[in-house]
Amino acid sequence: MTINQAQEEVDKWIKTYGVRYFNELTNMALLTEEVGEMARIISRRYGEQSEKESDKDKDLGDEMADVLWVLMCLANQTGVNLTEALKKNIDKKTNRDKTRHINNDKLK
């Protein structure tokens, strides 16, 4: 599935099952909540904190998909084509950082 197809699938789902999009501010709050849930798993599973028993069965991929879902909702609501935005962002990073990381002694 491409990013464009995913945005279309999210839009179709919202219009079929979700009745309507939550407003942008609500979705921004939901995005923050979903990122927090993903961060909790990563920080405890891969960081220095021990993982709580209640978190051990949580699916990191599912949490990432929740983040992506809400991000796509926001993109659809605000008219952002994420495929085009990502292409432009990669070009920006390439032009800005093409030698920055290669020449960073901290990364060697």
All domains in the chain, ordered by first residue: 3-81 (1.10.287.1080)
**For residue 33, what is the DSSP state?**
H
Spatial contact of 44 and 51, defined as CB atoms under 8 Å apart: yes
Q: What is the pLDDT of residues 44-85, one digit of tens each?
A: 999 999 998 988 999 999 999 999 999 999 999 999 999 999
- For the stretch 1-59, pLDDT in tens is 999 999 999 999 999 999 999 999 999 999 999 999 999 999 999 999 999 898 899 99
pTM, entire model:
0.91
Separation CA 90–CA 94 (nearest Å): 6
Does the pLDDT at position 108 exceed 90?
A: no
